Each structure stands twice: as C-alpha cells, then as structure tokens.
Amino acid sequence: MEEVFTLIVSMSPYLLLGFFLAGILHAFVPTRLYHRYLGGNTFRAVLNATLLGIPLPLCSCGVIPTAMSLRKEGASKGATASFLIATPQTGIDSIIATYSLMGLPFALLRPLIALVTALLGGILVNRLEGNERENKVQLSVDSSVFTPQKKTLKQKIRRALQYAFVEMMQDIGKWLVVGLVLAGLITVFVPDSFFSYFSDQPFLSMLLVLAFAIPMYLCATGSIPIAVALMLKGLSPGTALVLLMAGPAVNVASLLVVGKVMGRRVVLVYIFTLVCCAILFGLGVDCFLPREWFTLPLQQIHGCHEEGWSYFNIGCSVLLVLLLCNAFFRRWHASHKCQDGCACVTNQTDRWQFVVKGMSCNHCKNNVERVIARMNGVKSVEVNLTSGIAVVTGCVDKAEIRKAIQDIGFEVVDDSL
C-alpha cells in the first residue's frame, strides 16, 4: 500500500492540472471543429484527424462513438482510423501525468509515437480503401437542435469544471484506481528478479506484455502506474512503452465495434499498425537510447518519498480523493434515481424507452444523446449512463432511433413502448 500512496501523492498535482486543461479544451474548443476537414482519401485529412485526436482526453471506449460520429459526418475511413489510433494512446491529462511519474522522455515519446502510428495507419487504410466512394452522410437535423447556443464566459468555465472534475473522473477514475491497485499488487507479489529473465530477450518481453494488455481495458492515464510498477521490477523502458501505447488503444471491445462499423480489413490494419509500431519503437528505445533517461525519474520519485511529501502534494491528493468520491457518488445516485423514476414513461404515448448496451463513459452517453437529438421530431432525449436507459420524447419512428444508435457502434438490446 505504501507504493500506491507514493504514486497517488506524486501524480495528484499533475492529474488535477491535466483534468482542468482537458475541461478547458472541451468547453472552449467548438464541437464542430472535430467534424471538419476530415473528408476525402487525402493525407491532409489523415493529418488533421491525428492532430485533433492526440490532445483529446478520450479513452478507448469513449473514442469509438466519437469516431463513428465523425464517420457519419463524412470523414474518410483513413481519417477515422487515424483518429481511433491517436486519441486513446494520449491525451493532455495522460501526457502531464506521464511527465509527473516517468519523466520528460516518456512524456515526449508518447504523443510522437501516437502521431507516427496514426499517420501510418490512416495512410494504409486510405490505400486499402482507395476505391471507396466517400459519401458525406446528410443527417436530418433540426437546426435549432444542431446549432450550438452561444455561452457566456462564466457558463464555459462552469462547463469546463463540470466536465473535468465530474464527468472525466466518472469516466477514467475507476480505471485510474484499478491501475493504482494493480501497481500495488505488482510491487508486492512480482519478484524483483522476474523481468531479469527477459533482459536479453526484449522482443519476448514485449510479446508477453501485449498478451496481457490487449484483452484488458487500460486507459492512457490508468496504464501509467502499472508501467511504473513493472519498470521498478526490472521491465525495460521499451517494453513499458509498448504497454503505454498498445494497451490503451487495443482491446477486444473496441475491435469488435470497429470491425462492425468499418469492416474487417480496417480492423486488421488497425491492429497491425498499433502492434508493429509499438514494438518497433520499443525496440528502438531499448537499443538506441540511454536507459538512464527513463530510469532516473523513477529513482527521483523514491528519493522524494524518502525525504517526505510536501503539504502541497498531500493537499492535492486529498482533493483528488474527494473529487473521485464525489464523482462516484453522483453516478451511483443517478443510477438509483433512474431506477425509481423512469418506469412511468412507458405509459405515455409520446415517449419511448430504450436500453442501450455498450455505453461505458460520458462520451458514449453524450454521443447517443446527440445522435438522437438531431433526428426530426425529437423534442427531448435523456440517457442514463449507469442503467443504459434512453428516454426519448417526440413524434419519431422507434426503428429510426434504433438504427441511429446502432450506426455509432452501440446496440439496443431491449425497448419498451
């Protein structure tokens, strides 16, 4: 447990800063910006999608509906694939957290490798799908719903804080805690000499890490304490980099959705690009860069622990824990509120209730709400993330609602009229 507390105290100031900057990015950058300049099988579209995706704090589950929404807006398959590759690997919050625990070299390498990997993946998809006829999907949109309302500076700041310290913490807080707990278990139960057996076989150690990382769900921030714990047990910097890059971007759930919406060939290119680039860059780090660049920051963390923690770090840690508790309580309360108050809507003829399967974060919820709200005849839509219940009010065909939800990668497993 001592190692877990050390990681929390070391990361907390940077995590809070990262969450805040992510909230500012979300509130002050227009949503429509992410739906422009991504059409056509061109390098420019791929580059735009990559540059848009790298700073966004979206996890591998949240990026799926966002990418599918971009695709429906007319983004090419190559641009969509680039966005899918770049976004979950990094984020402004995870880059700052990486710097706090793993040092500047790792913090610089993560977005750089994400850039190269996403560009390569997008170019390969464009070559593979070169004959694809790119048709921009024209959605039936009520302009009053689709046109964003102008917000005052005070409203934007409030939205930034809500997104940063409530919604984001609901989305990745659980996985951050899981990552910290796993880091503590690794520290206690993995022998110090375990990875010394692979010291002369870095490729084998990378394959071993991939075998564990791909089936699991790892977010970009939650993977950091796991990588730190493994490096303290002797894992090479290059292998830790493979975990940081491939783990958040490749998991079974994401692959199934991408394959369903974009096709099997795109999934194969997606996996091939991520895995090959992660291994190649990992081998490059181990072979050509000084190991001290990556191990020295870890030694400094332990040195700071031995000297004692500052009151600032302790205060940030307490604040982080309180914010996480608040976020988890809000989600729990919303779940119970929906269970108590949603049953009566099915008795009203102008309301439909759907059960949406596959939502795992607020980005998923927001995408489902947005795609339904854009449909003609919809007066209001409310989606509960925990229960998966979507309540739609208005004069609209339920089959069209089901199709709209399925088109962005989710499944309607049940609906009540």
CA distance 360 to 297: 34
CA distances from 86 to 26, 60, 111, 157, 348 (A): 17, 10, 8, 27, 44
Give me the pLDDT at residue 180, please.
74
pLDDT tens digits along 336-369: 655 554 444 444 446 788 888 878 778 788 888 8
Query: Which of 110, 141, 125, 1 has its CA nearest to residue 75?
Result: 125
Query: Which of 47, 85, 48 has its CA nearest to residue 63?
Result: 85
Query: Which of 274, 304, 216 has its CA nearest to residue 89?
Result: 274
CA distance 21 to 13: 12
What percentage of the chain carries pLDDT values higher than 70?
77
CA distance 170 to 175: 10
pLDDT tens digits along 83-135: 888 988 888 888 998 998 888 999 999 999 999 999 999 999 888 876 454 44
Q: Over the chain, what is the mean pLDDT? A: 78
Give me the pLDDT at residue 107, please.
92
CATH of domain 342-416: 3.30.70.100
pLDDT tens digits along 276-307: 999 999 999 999 999 889 988 777 665 555 55
Instruction: Work out the average pLDDT over 222-235.
Output: 85
Give the least confident one: 94-108, 153-167, 257-271.
257-271
Most confident of 73-82, 313-322, 335-344: 313-322
Q: What is the maximum span of the chain, computed from C-alpha positions, in angstroms?
A: 69
Give me the pLDDT at residue 123, please.
92
Q: Provide the token pair at 358.
A: 């596959």
Give me the pLDDT at residue 339, please.
52
More confident residue, 409 or 111: 111
Residue 350 Cα to chain centre, angstroms? 35
Helix-helix angle 77-89:104-128, to 10 degrees: 160
Q: How confident is the model at residue 242 (pLDDT cuts 50, 70, 90)?
A: very high
Specify the residue for token string 């309607």: 412
Is residue 142 pLDDT above 50, yes or no?
no
pLDDT tens digits along 194-220: 666 666 788 888 988 888 777 666 778
Map out the domains of the chain as residue ranges. 2-319, 342-416
